[in-house]
Amino acid sequence: KRVRFDSSLVGNHEGNFIHGDETEKSLTLQTLSMIFKNNFGVGLSTINWAGTTTFASYDLKNYGVNGNMLDFYYMFEEKNPNTYWINQMPLSLTLGTSYPLGLEMKWGMGYKDDEPSLFSQLIIIGVKVTDDFELILNRSFYMFTKSYGGSPFYLTTYTLGIGYLF
């Protein structure tokens, strides 16, 4: 089994709310996951991504996404607990997606959507540093869309986390 934790405290993010938008945004993202020996895992992520400045005639402080997502991971490995690639290097690869639970999207002056759609891609590379610990590099891509369509929000995060193997 593996337990992994990563957070936006170590990493960076990019994305926009409106086409051409490059204003500053705040992101609080934390993920805790457990991966079982049968190469299946679940995790819980919390996300709060909000605008902090004005773009053209839009006040982006009233835009953003927050809520919880349940992450389903699919593992690919040849030997437990790590995949061995070039010259027997101890690396693991995790691919997966997310399904929203309690996700909310604010998309305008006081308007909010309690049931936005979410498309995501998760790519995680783990590097074993001791028998029990690994460092993980996590790249996540999220696309949020209002429940009745419209312009999506794009968010890409790069975070560094830790994993414990037992």
Tell me the CA distances in angstroms from 81 to 34, 75, 127, 152, one per residue in order: 13, 11, 11, 38
HSE, CB side, 13 Å, CA atoms: give it for residue 51. Answer: 24
Confidence of residue 82 (pLDDT cuts 50, 70, 90): low
Residues 6 or more apart whose CB falls under 8 angstroms from that of 60 comprise 17, 18, 21, 23, 25, 51, 52, 53, 54
pLDDT at residue 83 above 60?
no
User: Does 89 have pLDDT greater than 80?
Assistant: no
Beta strands, E only, 36-116: 40-51, 54-55, 58-59, 63-76, 83-84, 90-107, 112-113
pLDDT of residue 54: 79
What residue type is 7 in one-letter code?
S
pLDDT tens by residue, 26-72: 999 999 999 887 778 889 999 999 988 877 777 888 889 999 998 88
Give pLDDT, residue 80: 54
Amino acid at 77: E
pLDDT mean over 61-84: 74
Residue whose C-alpha is closest to residue 138's, from 104, 165, 98, 102: 98
Question: What pLDDT is stored for residue 39 in this prediction?
Answer: 74
